[in-house]
Structure 1
Amino acid sequence: MASLGPDIAAMWQAHRDRWFPPLLRGAEVGDIDVMLLDADTAGCVSTWLGKGGRLSPETSRILATCVEDLDTVLGVFTDGEERYYLQQLRIMAAAVLAKTET
């Protein structure tokens, strides 16, 4: 089994404690709804934590798409709290992908 480690658990707690930046509410980049992207990513991370470091192949694909979409969105939000929020979300999502056992 993958080691969940305190790093991802701590990232998850920090994410849950962080306010969603107001400028991201209703924001869309191309066909990416930023609030939905946040929710999808958070759902995958929560599932991973709840399943002891495992995701189904489908959920792994969803999370991989979230990381790609976060890269796209980060190209638009280049500073401020919005960028920080999105960067932290992407770091956490990529860390989960790196440790995922399917």
Structure 2
Amino acid sequence: MIANMSESELDLLSRLWEEHMHAPFPPHMRGREIEGEDMVLLDADIAGCVLSSLSGPLDEKRRKILLICLAAVEKLLPSIDDEDGATEYYKHLRDMAALAVELGNANAR
């Protein structure tokens, strides 16, 4: 277990990660930008940082990336159409990013 992290929060993030790994990327979001955000890149950035947080504390660079991505997802969610379950997919990404940031903040205390 990672020092200073609640096991239940880490377990939750692990479960969310497993769910994410089994969720297909919404096909109509490939190659799409919404308000200047590349939707594939947003997914990849969040996924990479969340995976890093599962193996140890986030460094400041990844923490900043997650905060930027989290703000982007929050801003974009109302603009995402729900074709192929895209809204739920990006809500799931948002939840993982928020939990990874929370865990990182708890670790910094």
Runs of 4+ in 1 over 3 A off after TM superposition: none
Greater helix share, structure number: 2
Count residues in correspondence.
100
Residue 72 of structure 1 and its aligned partner are, at CA, apart by 1.9
How far, CA to CA, are the matches of 2:41 and 2:88 in structure 1? Answer: 18
> Which runs of no fewer than 5 residues in structure 1 stay unpaired?
none
Aligned match of 2:15: 10
Q: 1 CA distance for matches of 2:33 and 2:52?
A: 25
Aligned with 2:6: secondary structure?
coil
Which amino acid letter does the alignment assign opposite residue 69 of structure 2? C
Instruction: State the Cα distance separating 1:3 from its structure 2 match.
Output: 2.5
Q: How big is the shift at 1:97?
A: 0.6
Q: Which runs of 5+ in 2 are unaligned?
A: none
Please, what TM-score do these two structures have when normalized by structure 2? 0.85
What does residue 42 of structure 1 align with? 47
With the length of structure 1 as denominator, give the TM-score of the two structures.
Answer: 0.91
